[in-house]
Structures are given as C-alpha cells and as structure tokens.
Structure 1
C-alpha cells in the first residue's frame, strides 16, 4: 500500500512537471526526475512507464519527449495519493469539527483507530504532537485527556503562525515559474471560485480547503518544526470555528474572498501587494478565533 501510494503521488507530481514543458520538449533524465520528485530511480522508471502507457510521453533512447499535456482525468484522486499520516490528520480534524471534544474529556486512541480504520500506532503518533503543546495529556492504555485552549495560548499561537506564514509567502513569490506549487495554486484557486459560487449549500466545505491552502503556502519554505506546528494551528482554528454558528456562512464567504485576494497577490509576485493581502487575512483569522472563544464561554 505504501509503495502504491508513493507511486501514485510521484505520478501526479510528474504530471505537473509535464504540464510545464512544451510539446516535443524533453522531460529530463532519470536522475533529474528522481531529484525533482525526491524518489528513487526505480520509482521514476515506474512513473515513466505509466506516462508512456498513457500517451503523455514517448521514449527514444534517453530522450523523453512530451507528446501531450495532462488532463484532469490523468491524475490519481487525492484519496489515493495520501500518506497514512495525512489520512489520519484529515479524519481527526473532521472529528474535532463535530464539536464533541470538550476540555477534560477522555479520548480513546483505540476507539479512534477503529473509527478511522487505521492502526493504533498511527493515532498515537498523531496525538503525540499535541501533547508537546499541552493540549492533550497522555494516560495509560491508549487513553488521552483533552485539556482545551486558553486565550493566551491562542494569542501565542497566532503570533507564531503569522511569523511562519509571512516568511513562507515571501518565499512563494520567489519560486521558479516551473515549480509544481504554482499549478497546485491554480487548482486551489479554481476550487475557491467554485465554492464561493455555491456558498449557500457548500459553506461547510471551507475548513478542508482552508487547511490545504495554508499548507501549500508553507510548502514554499519547508521547515520540520512548522510542519508539526501546522497541525496544531489547524486543530485550534477549526475546533473553535464551529462553535459560532450564527454567521458561519458569511465568515467563510469573507475568508474565501480574502484567500482569492491573497492568491492574486502571490501570482502578481509583488511583495507589497502580496503582504497586504496576507496580513489582512491573518488579522481576520485571528479576530475570528478570539470571537469564537468568547462564544464558548
């Protein structure tokens, strides 16, 4: 399963590379592709076989010529390319958003493993990161206690979030035009536009899109500490938002519009325009989080 997931993820990433090249152009050597995809040459060869079978490239000795650009149907679905950790993260976030987890509540790792259809070790690894910040306390027999959040914790959290994201956003606008992150930004922009058009019926879908958008920004400046911290950020923000139902649809519509302005700022590569849109959105997110905490009191 792990190998199959790696192949599908690498295949999708290679499709992004194909999309940036001109028809008839060379895709590159196996070594170059292995470095770009961060996988072994064995995986690269399997991907190249798949691209050839799909009629995307033609191989003549060492040359790998682009025959056509990928269509959306050429990509494997996201659900087939996710790692176990990503799957657990999404299911845990959905569980958190149900609002059933309250301060002082006991959480069973075994129950979550059964509910999510994953191993207890995968659940334990995911929950461990929250214990580092004092949000969960580990107990014997795969049990945990949810400690909840304070306003002071939320203020400190948003300060660190803003520091990391502003840094990542600056790096994003410096990315090479051929970076796969730009193609992913295009897809996320399209999904924002589609969601905004159908906001009355689909406003509850924003949380997952919000998480993917900010995660993409942070990919421009990889940092192992931020990767762990990002899960905590998502948990805190998306745990509190559902408690304030009064204007949830309106808040999500505003956030989508701010995301779109933020995306336009990134695409402009204008530091001032990008920073203004980024700060506007982060300020709104901070205010929304603090208001949602007041509603819960």
Structure 2
C-alpha cells in the first residue's frame, strides 16, 4: 500500500527571494498591529481567510468561515471488510493446520480469493498477517509461499513454550484453589472429544483454548498472547508430513488425555506431578 507524502519547498529551494549575492533575504517581520489585523481577518472569516491556510499562530486543522461544515452527526455506514478479512484469516489458519496449504507451495491471492468467493484484497491482507506470524513468506510477483518447517524448529518451539508455561503453571499450582482448576474440566474434556474426531484443526483450536484458560489465571495478558502465538506456530505441519494421518490420530488422543491428568494433579496440589506431566507434554507436543 502506497502512502502519499506532502513536500514543503522553501523560498531558497526555488531560488526566489534571493539577492544578487545568493543569500536568502529575510522578509520584513510584521508588527504587532499587523499581527492583530491578520488574526481578526482569519478568525472572523473575512475576505483574507483562505481555505486550507493557517493563521499566524501556525495551527492547522481550524476551519475557516469559507470551509463547508461537515454534517452532524456523520452518517453511519456498516463496515464489513474487517469481518471478511477475519473470516479469511481463520480459514487460512485452518488450512495451514490441516495441511491443505502445503509447506513449500506458493499460493496467489487472486486464486485463493476465487476459491473463497471474495475479492483479492481481504485475502492479501490475511496473508500479510500470516507473514507477520511467520506462517508464509512473500514471493515477489507470485504470491505467498508456505514456510517449510522441520523437526528442529518444532523442538525449539516446544522448548520455548516449556520455558514460559511450566514456571507459570507451577506458581499457579501454589496459589489457585482446587475449585478454580475444576472449572477448567469442561475444556480439558473438549480436547478429548476433539482428538477423537480425527480433525486436526478442531483439536488445535480446543488445545489452544485449554492452555489459554490455564495461563489466563496468571492475569497477564501479554503472557497469554505470546504463549498462544508460539502454540499456534507449533501446530503447523512439518514439511513432508501428512496432517490428520500423523500417528494415526493416536498422538492427538494421548495429548488430550494429558490435559485431564494435569488438571487432576493441580486439583490434588501435587507440584511434582504437575512438573513431570508438563515436561512430558511439551516433549511430545503435536
């Protein structure tokens, strides 16, 4: 997207207002009476008031008498573009998790837009957001390439997630009462149902929801946001893998049951079991 800029050219840039020596002449400064008259003419909307110009105060944005007044209130128009962009972004994220958008493949915004039945603009904006998240990269004059990830990157993400989440959950284990942990039981059970469905995208969403609810108990929004970003990136498929068929779905089911086991340990107030379960959870993160 191109943004226009306004340039300001001074007298000495054009050569005007210079004497024979080449030095810029300083114009005569107005006296107090001149300043007062100029202020009165500008503020009073007299013949000297020029639309778009400022008074001697140098303040821009003040409407002069000759400028048309804006209607009050301004008409309200429904804005749907952001909603479309959000829906496309969610659909593309799902396609990444399921492997429908294949690692290493290049996709153009117009082709994807035709598939979704929308213009290319919201698709391009959604893909640019995925670029910021590291899911895709721009290929000039072609579109966006899905980033290829290997086992090493997945292991690095798991390590960073463990460094962030384990200390937080261990601290929460000492301060959050058992009844608060019990309130998260429905979310843990939802991950088990999602894993049994065999849909990797459905499980990915429920998995993030559970971890987000656990970390939210710390009351740190920045922590939750960073952890979720890492979690989402860890859910993208590896290059050459077949999401959905990976481990025959058994790994998803095992991962989901680790959530309920973790809740049991938190409710029981067993920090050693909590640490052990979380370390194992991140080691085998899917």
Tell me the TM-score range normalised by the shorter chain: 0.5 to 0.7
Q: Partner residue of 1:212?
A: 209
Structure-1 separation of matches of 2:248 and 2:100: 18
Deviation at 1:259, TM superposition (A): 1.6
Closer/same/farther in 2, CA of residues 88 and 219 from structure 1, 3 Å limit: farther
Matched position secondary structure for 2:253: helix
Deviating runs (4+, > 6 A) in structure 1? Answer: 83-86, 178-181
Closer/same/farther in 2, CA of residues 182 and 123 from structure 1, 3 Å limit: farther
Q: How does 1:109-120 map to 2 (within 5 A)?
A: 109=109, 115=116, 119-120=122-123
Q: Partner residue of 2:225?
A: 227
In the alignment, is the contact (CA less than 8 A) between 1:166 and 1:278 conserved in 2? yes
Does residue 187 (structure 1) correspond to residue 189 (structure 2)? The answer is: no
Structure-1 separation of matches of 2:100 and 2:175: 41
Structure-2 separation of matches of 1:190 and 1:244: 20
Does residue 203 (structure 1) correspond to residue 206 (structure 2)? The answer is: no
Structure-1 separation of matches of 2:147 and 2:102: 8
Structure-1 separation of matches of 2:174 and 2:84: 31
Deviation at 1:97, TM superposition (A): 2.9
Q: Partner residue of 1:61?
A: none
- TM-score where L is the length of structure 2: 0.54
Matched position secondary structure for 1:273: helix
Q: Partner residue of 1:166?
A: 166
Q: Partner residue of 2:102?
A: 102
Q: Partner residue of 1:38?
A: none
- TM-score where L is the length of structure 1: 0.52
Matched position secondary structure for 1:239: coil
Deviation at 1:164, TM superposition (A): 1.2
Q: Partner residue of 1:148?
A: 148
Closer/same/farther in 2, CA of residues 178 and 156 from structure 1, 3 Å limit: closer
Q: Tell me, which stretches of 5 or more residues in structure 1 are unaligned?
A: 1-82, 290-297
Matched position secondary structure for 1:145: strand
In the alignment, is the contact (CA less than 8 A) between 2:178 and 2:268 conserved in 1? no
Structure richer in helix, relative to its length: 1
In the alignment, is the contact (CA less than 8 A) between 2:101 and 2:146 conserved in 1? yes
- Aligned positions, number: 196
Residues 162-199 of structure 1, C-alpha deviations (whole Å, 9 max, x = no match)? 1112133224325554997763x132134245557xx3
Matched position secondary structure for 1:227: helix
Matched position secondary structure for 1:149: coil
Residues 194-235 of structure 1, C-alpha deviations (whole Å, 9 max, x = no match)? 557xx3xx2324333222222223323435376246334324
Closer/same/farther in 2, CA of residues 113 and 267 from structure 1, 3 Å limit: farther
Matched position secondary structure for 1:158: helix
Deviation at 1:91, TM superposition (A): 2.7
Closer/same/farther in 2, CA of residues 272 and 112 from structure 1, 3 Å limit: farther
Indicate which of 123, 126, 151 corresponds to 1:123. Answer: 126
Structure-2 separation of matches of 1:216 and 1:160: 19
Structure-2 separation of matches of 1:125 and 1:182: 40
Q: Partner residue of 1:245?
A: 245
